[in-house]
Amino acid sequence: MQHYLARQRYLIDYTVASLLRHRSKNLGLLLVYTLVVFMLASVMLFTHSLRQEAEQLLSAAPEIVLQRLLAGRQELVPASYLEQMGRIRGVSERHGRLWGYYYDPVVRANYTVLVPRDRPLAADEIVVGAGLARSRGLGHGDFLSLRASDGRPVAFRVADTLAADSELISADLILMAEASFRDLFAIPAGYYTDLALSVRNPREVRTVAEKLTLALPDTRPILRSEILRTYATLFSWRQGIVLVLLAGALLAFVIFAWDKASGLSAEERREIGILKAVGWETADVIGMKFWEGALISLGAFLLGYLLAYLHVFYLDAGLFEPVLKGWAVLYPSFHPVPFIDGLQVATLFFFTVFPYTVATIIPIWRAATTDPDAVMR
């Protein structure tokens, strides 16, 4: 055992000395490799953290939201539907929700306007999300003028702002009183955006949903479990740009790594001949090459992963902001909570270290088994 370890250390000595001969080339390789791992690990850590947070937060969402569809579009729901659905066993509470979007031409941002049920507000009062307050420079007591659907400006006084640490769920919210909401968007009394239902026993939700679609055929129930499922697959690897970007980066790297690792130069072949002639076994030559691949890929993995950790959890995934922001003006400032999936990290480790190491060893096989007397000829 001792002998084995001492021997491996000598092999590492040789590999490192031989890598240092082409210092800039190999450092460049390590850098590119690290960058690829960094990108992959950043996406992985960020999306996993977001999914976990979504799961924790949205498990408090309404059990059932009932939308009315008209010609494939969401429509206002008449309050009479609350009666029409009849008594459904298990539904403990039902009420209408009022919410909508407002486009602010001043900063070209979309806001979500919402009527809170448990927070009485005066007709001219609003509560705004921290992101909105930031982009419009609003503070307590400031006024925000919104254009009503008939064109007249309506001024609101900011009574409060929502907590800054809840931006991930509330950055773009405007809370206002029901009367002001109906006035602003000209929504007649007796209509709601959608209905929210509470179900006491979670096992009955599905039955309730089925009864609802029977009683009100033009409606569509959205269950909390569906909301959770939607967010559980948020940014799965097959999705759009993520895949295109990663696939591009990976392919480029594979070509690069393949060329680097498998192209055995005449010089290297000669060196292997010398090593064998002076007393190295085939296993030593292969072991030496194994360390070359393993050291580079392991180094890249550690460096890339650690940088990604810093990026996502200490710099709030700043590099992803432009991608996630898209054309939006409002972007929540939030701090991802480090939920880490060990299996994902292990998978990343495997896929960064294993293929590269194998790609380094395989081409050496033939060269390592050549007759050592080649150097004498």
245-284 positions binding other proteins, by CB under 8 A: 267, 270-271, 274-284
Among 79, 159, 242, 246, binds other proteins (CB under 8 A): 242
| Torsion 3-9-12-16 (CA) sign | negative
**Is 27 among the residues that bind other proteins (CB under 8 A)?**
no
Q: Is residue 316 left, alpha or beta, with left meaning phi > 0 and alpha meaning psi from -120 to 50?
A: left
Three-class secondary structure assignment of 309-348: HHHHHCCCCHHHHHHHHCCCCCCCCCCCCCCCCHHHHHHH
Return d(Cα 10, Cα 153) in angstroms, integer.
Answer: 80
Pairing between strand 194-199 and 64-70? antiparallel
Q: How far is the CB of 283 from other proteins (least distance, A)?
A: 8
- How many of the other CB atoms lie within 10 Å of CB of 17? 9
Q: How far is the CB of 317 from other proteins (least distance, A)?
A: 11
**Is 74 among the residues that bind other proteins (CB under 8 A)?**
yes
Return d(Cα 139, Cα 130) in angstroms, integer.
Answer: 10
Q: Are 193 and 185 in contact (CB under 8 A)?
A: no
| Torsion 205-211-215-218 (CA) sign | positive
Q: How far is the CB of 367 from other proteins (least distance, A)?
A: 15
**Is 26 among the residues that bind other proteins (CB under 8 A)?**
no
Among 31, 57, 247, 315, binds other proteins (CB under 8 A): 57
**Residue-by-residue DSSP string for 219-250:** EEEEEHHHHHHHHHTTT-TTSHHHHHHHHHHH
- How many of the other CB atoms lie within 10 Å of CB of 91? 20
Return d(Cα 264, Cα 376) in angstroms, integer.
Answer: 21
Among 159, 298, 319, 362, binds other proteins (CB under 8 A): 298
**Is 14 among the residues that bind other proteins (CB under 8 A)?**
yes
Q: How far is the CB of 40 from other proteins (least distance, A)?
A: 16
Stretch that binds other proteins, among 29-37, 75-83, 334-342, 352-360 (CB under 8 A): 334-342
Q: How far is the CB of 202 from other proteins (least distance, A)?
A: 15
Binding positions for other proteins, 341-370, rule CB under 8 A: none
Q: 178 CB contacts (<8 Å, ≥6 apart)?
A: 98, 115
Q: How far is the CB of 196 from other proteins (least distance, A)?
A: 6
Identity of the residue, 257 or 317, whose beta carbon is nearer to other proteins in the bound complex: 317
Identity of the residue, 188 or 279, whose beta carbon is nearer to other proteins in the bound complex: 279
Among 35, 53, 102, 351, binds other proteins (CB under 8 A): 53
* CA geometry: angle 126, 132, 135, nearest 5 deg: 135
Give the DSSP letter of residue 199. Answer: E
**Is 69 among the residues that bind other proteins (CB under 8 A)?**
yes
Return d(Cα 169, Cα 99) in angstroms, integer.
Answer: 15
**Is 107 among the residues that bind other proteins (CB under 8 A)?**
no
Q: How far is the CB of 195 from other proteins (least distance, A)?
A: 11
Identity of the residue, 284 or 289, whose beta carbon is nearer to other proteins in the bound complex: 284
**Is 29 among the residues that bind other proteins (CB under 8 A)?**
no
Q: How far is the CB of 255 from other proteins (least distance, A)?
A: 26
Stretch that binds other proteins, among 55-63, 75-83, 151-159, 258-266 (CB under 8 A): 55-63
Name the nearest CA neighbour of 363 among 308, 306, 285, 303. 285
Binding positions for other proteins, 171-230, rule CB under 8 A: 171-173, 175, 194, 196, 206, 220, 222-223, 226-227, 229-230
Among 32, 79, 112, 182, binds other proteins (CB under 8 A): 112
Binding positions for other proteins, 133-172, rule CB under 8 A: 162-163, 165-172
Identity of the residue, 88 or 166, whose beta carbon is nearer to other proteins in the bound complex: 166
Stretch that binds other proteins, among 81-89, 139-147, 151-159, 330-338 (CB under 8 A): 330-338
Structure tokens given for 222: 């959205």
**What number of chain residues touch other proteins (CB under 8 A)?**
120
Name the nearest CA neighbour of 168 among 298, 1, 335, 370. 335
Give the DSSP letter of residue 93. Answer: E
Collapsing DSSP states into helix, strand and coil, what is residue 96? strand
